[in-house]
Amino acid sequence: MSFLSVREAGRKFRDGSLTPSALTDRCLARIAELNPKLNAFYEVFTGEARAEAERAARELREGRDRGPLHGIPVGVKDLIDVAGHVTTCGAHKGFHPPPAREDADVVRRLREAGAVILGKTALHEWALGVTSNNAHFGPTRNPHDPGRIPGGSSGGSAAALASGMCLLALGSDTGGSIRIPSALCGTVGIKPSYGKVAMGGVAPLSRSLDTLGPMANTVEDAWLMLDAISEPKRREMHPPRILLPRNYFFEEVDPEVARLVREAAARLGPVEEVDLPQAKTAWETNPIILLSEAAHVHEARLKDHPEWFGPGLADRFRGGFEFRATDYLRAVEFGEEWARSLLRLLGSEAVLAVPGTPVPAAKIGDREGAAIARVMTRFTSPYNLAGVPVLSVPVGKVDGLPAGMQLVAAPGADDLLRSVARDVTSLPL
């Protein structure tokens, strides 16, 4: 599927062939047409979005240009506060807070950049899950096959992008929640280095692992959004070396997914094979921190209203209580060592290419909870544990369903991914 890019829309705004109002109306019409089937948005800010688009158009006419995102329609994952609206977190209505009094830091930055906030996108309940099959709001569906999952937990953002409902969307990522839906829906996502994007006004899952990042239909659009929501520190970087792991990331993976990733990596430059002996341990360690912290976040809710959680979710959260303090501290120590090992391997000159998910999108209801999470997070959650930046890009299709590739840089080396992104955009899909 091909839709107008942020850069293309900006050019049209400035040459007068398109207005922010017309583009916003186009997105709203697309939502009205497709959202009843796909369930990508939980709430649409129709009146507010049109008012923001008109203001953006007026500012551009008056010569006030806020930059590349001026007038661009954006979806916001519904665990991020937008002033005047309830942040549902995809949870039971009994858990819903009053409307937010102010915007989350990241939404404030989007408004300062002139973006038009279209509404709240769907997610897996409390962001703990990879299907976005929500017990309280219904399933979100993959635009490539509505009988299949879009991934999660940022499934609504990916589905909205893949169906042309918006040009950009915000996602969050604690174990793969940006990269899994990006891979399954054929979109682009960036999990930045831990701490690069401010988390104020965002409902937490695991404070040590949570990250916010951009989701888009093109690599360039994703970087434009990341610049708007963070403090960009651009450095000129040479084209990186491309590394492929010999072990783990190409084990227990669909052969076609593996082939597409290997071929895409080879098109970026000469490929070197490397060993990652700690990768499996990193995957097994991430849930110790995630679930321990998530259990702490939800302790009162689990005590007062366990019946308000979707099927199996309360038990998954309670699993965090089973870890001891020594388990948690040992996991933190391992995460620090894992990050150091990636820094030694990648340095400032190499990126690692791995599949986004082992398999394409499953059918809705095929597997849920921990069973599918263990499959889908195998290649993503190790990098949350290390806090490293990851770019997720589509590399083709397997039986008509998208497959994705992750490009991983060392801690803090987000700009290295920007340098390789120029080549990624030319990959034939």
SS3 label, residue 169: strand
CA 181 to chain CA centroid, Å, is 7
SS3 label, residue 85: coil
Q: 0.95 cut: is pTM over it?
A: yes
Q: Alpha-carbon distance 280 to 61, whole Å?
A: 55
Instruction: List the one residue out of 40, 11, 392 whose CA is nearest residue 218.
Output: 392
Yes or no: say if 212 and 384 are a contact pair by the CB < 8 Å rule: no
SS3 label, residue 167: coil
Q: Alpha-carbon distance 52 to 82, whole Å?
A: 14
Instruction: List the one residue out of 383, 391, 367 whose CA is nearest residue 335.
Output: 383
Query: Residue 398: what are its φ and ψ, rounded to 5°?
Result: -120, 115
For 322, the enclosing helix (H) or strand (E) is: none
Instruction: List the one residue out of 191, 218, 212 whose CA is nearest residue 381.
Output: 191
Alpha helices per DSSP H over 232-324: 255-267, 279-297, 299-304, 313-318
User: For tokens 């001026």, what's the residue?
Assistant: 70
Q: What is the pLDDT of residue 232?
A: 74
DSSP 245: E
Domain segments of the chain as ranges: 6-229
CA angle 20, 24, 29 (to 5 degrees): 150
SS3 label, residue 182: helix
Tokens read off for 167: 């040009």
Q: Biggest alpha carbon distance in the chain?
A: 62
SS3 content of the chain, % helix, strand, coil (to 5): 45, 15, 40
Q: In 10 A of CB 427, how many CB atoms? A: 17
Q: Alpha-carbon distance 22 to 152, whole Å?
A: 31
Q: Alpha-carbon distance 328 to 320, whole Å?
A: 10
Using CA atoms, how far residue 391 sits from 14, 65, 373, 408, in Å, is: 30, 28, 20, 7
For 25, counting Cβ atoms within 10 Å of its Cβ (0-12 exposed, 13-18 middle, 19+ buried), the class is middle
Catalytic residues: 77, 153, 177
Torsion of CA 257, 262, 266, 270, to 10 degrees: 160
Q: What is the pLDDT of residue 421?
A: 76
For 29, the enclosing helix (H) or strand (E) is: helix 20-38
Q: How long a stretch of residues is the chain?
A: 429
Where on the phi/psi map is residue 140: left (φ > 0), alpha (ψ -120 to 50), or beta?
Answer: beta
Yes or no: say if 286 and 208 are a contact pair by the CB < 8 Å rule: no
Yes or no: say if 398 and 405 are a contact pair by the CB < 8 Å rule: no
Q: What is the pLDDT of residue 427?
A: 52
Q: What is the pLDDT of residue 117?
A: 98
Q: Alpha-carbon distance 228 to 250, whole Å?
A: 35
List, for residues 393-405, the tens digit of each pLDDT value: 999 999 999 999 9
Q: Which residues of the chain have pLDDT under 50?
A: 1, 428-429
Q: Alpha-carbon distance 277 to 338, whole Å?
A: 10
Report whether CATH 3.90.1300.10 matches the domain 6-229: yes
